[in-house]
Amino acid sequence: MEYGARNKISAKVKSVKKGDIMSLVKYKITKPSEMASVLTTESVEDLDLKVGDEVLLIIKAVHVLPTKG
């Protein structure tokens, strides 16, 4: 099955906490992954981003879609 999400991170289920309506699933990242972002050139220049720079990626997303393959 194909998914619209392009950034994929391999993970293992670490814990499952079930509630009546919602459940919390925590994951342990098992495989390094490459991520990409699109941001304004002004932001790139303000951050002075260059190849090889160490950065902290903050992922702002509405959903994390677990899949079994």
Task: Give per-residue pLDDT as tens, 12-68.
Answer: 889 999 999 988 889 888 777 677 788 899 999 999 999 998 888 777 777 777 888
The alpha carbon of 41 is separated from its chain's Cα centroid by a whole number of angstroms, namely 22
User: Rounded distance, CA 64 to CA 23, Å?
Assistant: 13
Task: Give per-residue pLDDT as tens, 39-50.
Answer: 899 999 999 999
- Per domain, the residue ranges of the chain are 1-69
| Cβ pair 56, 40 in contact under 8 A | no
Residue 1 is predicted with a pLDDT of 57
Note the pTM of the prediction, 2 decimals. Answer: 0.57
| Cβ pair 66, 25 in contact under 8 A | yes
